[in-house]
Amino acid sequence: MTIGNISLGEYPLFLAPMEDITDPSFRVVCKAHGADFMYTEFISSDGLIRDGAKSVKKLDIYDSERPIGIQLYGHIIDSMVEAALIAEEARPELIDINFGCPVKKIANRGAGAGMLRDVPAMISMTKAIVDSVTLPVTVKTRLGWDEESKIIIELAERLQDTGIKALTIHGRTRAQLYKGSADWTLIGEVKDNPRMKIPIIGNGDIDSPIKAREMFSRYGVDGIMIGRATVGRPWIFRDIRHYLSTGELLPEPTVSEKADIALFHLDRSLEFKEGKKGIFELRRHLSNYFKGLPDIKETRLKLVTSTEPDEIREIIGTIRKQWGDYRSNDRTSVYGT
């Protein structure tokens, strides 16, 4: 698979952009476990052009995590073009436009998935960005606004005609948010459309190697994007790649292996974030790393309330000492075989 001149090999695995999750520290962890392509957290065009500190900070990317894309969202064409030009100066491999975020405060302003209610504006915005930057431009969107407006087949053609180099489709409508099951049938129909020439990346409910292989084989997508299933389980990329290559399911990492990953993640978070911020933003991951261990609730609570790096390391060490080679799930319960 290629996006513009970016070669990603066969069956590439993408880490989805997620607010307060896909920061540099987590991207490093996912890269180490086999993610082929990653994105920054999504960035507000308004925040970026107004030089907002939080938005500008999200432009920080590092050579070790390449290839990487910067994802932008907004509802004003001129602001999105200006933001794309600013983002281009950070030297990512591509610019991605977020037409998929369903969060109320974003979508109800007409940004993210809210653009699905104004397709002409969506097309005009995409074309303006494509024409303004030199990097490849890609789009991430959903099937439609709601069950009565699943417009993705026609929309995909119109987006392709603007000059984008790849399209990611989340198999839900905006109205679904993240509820119910992702519908991949329409993603497959987009991929099977003879008019479509750009790569199609499928997203939604990929939480196991078996599911990943099924989506590649049944729907023919060029790549798959994984989001929520990576939180607390960054090794899912390794597991999927191994299964695609060998047909063999790897066992769940031992608690000792998870402790190593958690400590590595902690060190990277402290490296990239100032003060206590690195600890606060790591808590969601730390909690999930050791999820599923029996009688761990009190220890996990300490882990996600401590603000001292040395104390966190000590707690992780205690978990390692107590559980060691224990695997919280065997591959049958994790992957449903």
Catalytic residue among 43, 101, 186, 206: 101
What's phi and psi for 202, nearest 5 deg? Answer: -95, 145
Radius of gyration of the chain (CA): 20
Per-residue pLDDT band for 335 (boundaries 50, 70, 90) equals very low
CA 146 vs CA 17, 92, 174, 229: distances in Å: 22, 33, 6, 24
Containing H/E element for 97? strand 94-99
Output the pTM of the full model. Answer: 0.93
Contact 109, 134 (CB under 8 A): no
Active-site residue, 101 included: yes
DSSP letter at 326 equals -
Per-residue pLDDT band for 333 (boundaries 50, 70, 90) equals very low
Contact 96, 140 (CB under 8 A): yes
Q: What's residue 327's pLDDT?
A: 87
- Percentage of residues in the chain having pLDDT higher than 90: 86
Q: What's residue 292's pLDDT?
A: 84
What is the rounded distance in angstroms from the CA atom of residue 283 to the CA atom of residue 127? Answer: 39
At 218-274, the pLDDT tens digits run 999 999 999 999 998 999 999 999 999 999 999 999 999 999 999 999 999 999 888
At 160-199, the pLDDT tens digits run 999 999 999 999 999 999 999 999 999 999 999 999 999 9
CA geometry: angle 166, 190, 10, nearest 5 deg? 50
